[in-house]
Amino acid sequence: MREVAIVGIGQTPVGEHWDTSLRMLAAEAVRAALQDAGVKTADALYVGCGFSAPFSSQLHLGALVADFAGLRGIEAYSVEAADASGGAALRTGFLAVASGAVETALVLGVEKATDTVGSARIQARNTSLDADFEAAHGATQSALAALLMRRYMHEYGLELSAFEGFSINAHANGSRNPNAMFRNLIKPGSFARAPMVADPINLFDGAPDADGAAAVVLTTVERAADMVPQPVRLTASAVATDSLTLHDRPDLLILRAAQQSAARAYAQAGIEPNAVSLFELHDEYTILAALSLEAAGFAERGQGWKLAQDGAIGLQGSIPISTFGGLKARGNPIGATGIYQAVEACLQLRGQAGDNQVSGARTALIQNLGGLGATAITHILQA
Amino acid sequence: MSELRKQVEIQAEQFAFAGTGEVYSFTTVLQAPENFEEQAPYTLALIKLDEGPMITAQLTDLDGPVAIGDRVEMVTRKLTTEGPRGMIVYGYKFRKILPRSS
């Protein structure tokens, strides 16, 4: 296997892009990444998108985006793993370059969620649940997250306010990110009073569905050195799966796939959790942030929530998370999220994160979850 | 039945559950998907069946608060109607087992 590096990054602002089509968002991110890498094209384009069929009545994104971005003719197709589609596309690009099959790969994450609203959007997102055993009973992603969170609170004797630190941190970081959907701060105390979505999940807990596109250019470490001044090495890429349904897991309060993919990633990169400078985790709900911290080895079982209490997850903390706002404040452009995580990690490792910079960042862990951890895709990026 | 189908069926062995269990976790769904809006708010739960496995189902016939550990039993109910002229879908829900009045 050849060593792989990221040599170009691009992103659109995350938000409600009612005046911009899916292909426009995609092409904008692709052009930005190519320009950043100083190249005109790539050998292949892998598109991560979770829900373009129900949201945009559009599949076949590989050919669509390649053509619209001026790359007609190149290898291009999409990769789907629900919310983890971006991470899955990054994995595909990594494999393509590492194997020697392609020299330069473009990896795009794109989603156009906000043209669909209300119950129709929930219905669209429900296509990633178990249709027969969850969605047929009126389950939603938020409701399932709520089942997980209530059980966690029950077993560890916690109040809702135990989780507010995650949202406060995400919004504090998002407020300094020009590409973030939400740039307002959440005041301590207001979290627990927010309107409920599916109790105990409320509006200040769940991440907002959003539109956005982000892209990276991958090539070999060897070629990267001649292309750009600051290539970022992709030193681990690992995917694991768990049962699609929550109810089939022997222990609900362990994200087994997240744990497994993180362990595989640490082994590939040859590092321990204490070498990680920042962790872009899948904070679609605060409970996922807590469980992801536990799964990746930053907290013992049942202790993940505590890291949000004492500033450990802040930019100056021992394990900074959601450094550009995470899914909660940057916004959740669902299938694109995994690539936003990669772009943000690159900005940190290049020292280009501006007001969001984690000082001395050398190693970034990024983890993209599909559903409530049925798919977990972990990458490690190093300066 | 084809040989391969039989192998799949053998893995998924038929088993009749008593239909009783307890609430492992629950939530009140306020933002519902299509075909469930008119039911909202409704209570969705993880039910730990007495035989061990867990399933996801709605709680029904509720006239008071729910708590983790509440004993429940399965009942057959309408789950939804697929659109205004669509098929009615029946399935399982759970209700609290009330203490016997003597």
Q: Do B33 and A198 touch (CB under 8 A)?
A: no
Chain B nearest CA to A381, separation (Å): 37
CATH number at residue B68: 2.40.50
Residue type, B48: K
Cβ A379 vs Cβ A262: under 8 Å: no
Q: For residue B31, what are the domain limits?
A: 19-96
Q: What is the pLDDT of residues A19-76, one digit of tens each?
A: 999 999 999 999 999 999 999 999 999 999 999 999 999 999 999 999 999 999 999 9
- Location of structure tokens 């995400």: A170
Whether the pLDDT of residue B100 is over 90: the answer is no
Alpha-carbon gap, residue A314 to A363, rounded angstroms: 16
Domain count, chain B: 1
Q: Of all residues in chain B, what percent carry a pLDDT higher than 90? A: 75
pLDDT on residue A10: 98
Q: Which amino acid makes up residue A151?
A: R
Closest residue, chain A, to B24 (C-alpha): A151
% of chain A with per-residue pLDDT over 70: 100
pTM of the model: 0.97
Task: Enumerate residues 243 to 262 of chain A having a beta carbon within 8 A of any beta carbon in chain B.
Answer: 245-248, 252
Q: How far is CA A151 from CA A159, A343, B16, B70, in A?
A: 12, 34, 27, 14
Is ipTM beyond 0.90? Answer: yes
Pick the CATH number of A138-208+234-382 from 1.10.645.10, 3.40.47.10, 3.40.50.300, 3.10.520.10: 3.40.47.10
Greatest pairwise CA separation for chain B in angstroms: 54
For residue A175, pLDDT beyond 60: yes
What order of strands is seen across the sheet that includes strand A4-11?
A75-79, A44-48, A104-112, A211-220, A4-11, A232-241, A375-382, A363-370, A278-280
Nearest CB neighbour to B42, from listed A138, A144, A196? A138
Whole-angstrom distance, CA of residue A141 vs CA of residue A203: 14
Per residue in A76-129, pLDDT tens?
A: 999 999 999 999 999 999 999 999 999 999 999 999 999 999 999 999 999 999
Percent of chain A whose predicted confidence (pLDDT) is above 90: 100
Contacts of residue A222, defined as CB under 8 A and 6 or more positions apart, other chains included, come to A2, A3
| A4-117+210-232 CATH pick, 3.30.160.150, 3.40.47.10, 1.10.490.10, 3.30.565.10 | 3.40.47.10
pLDDT band at A218 (very low <50, low <70, confident <90, very high): very high
How is residue A128 annotated by DSSP?
A: G
